[in-house]
Amino acid sequence: MRRTREHTGSVDITTAMNSLLAGLTDEEKKLGLSTELPATTGKAVAVLDVIVMPEDVKPPDSKWGVFQVYCTALASRATVAGVAPVPDGMCP
């Protein structure tokens, strides 16, 4: 199931990544959605076409966590420092 959230205007990669890092909303939890990324109040920043994650967030080590981060970045043609591309991964 894909997460969707209301935003006004276009959503850049930094906004998308920070929404992912903010964790699930109560409504998303009720729907049974899950994430393997730890929620943080730290913010990701974009430097050219690379996403720099907050200091308190380690690169994901699970396949699902890598998939979430990689596909979020791929949507904006960006890469995430420390996260390898998903092998044979198809992003929605």
With a cut of 50, say whether residue 75 has pLDDT above it: yes
| HSE-up (13 A, CA, CB side) for residue 57 | 29
Among 62, 61, 68, 66, residue whose Cα is nearest residue 24: 68
> What DSSP designation does 79 have?
E
**Per-residue pLDDT, 67:** 76
Domain boundaries, the chain: 13-80
Q: What is the pLDDT of residues 3-46, one digit of tens each?
A: 556 656 666 777 777 888 888 888 888 888 888 777 888 887 77
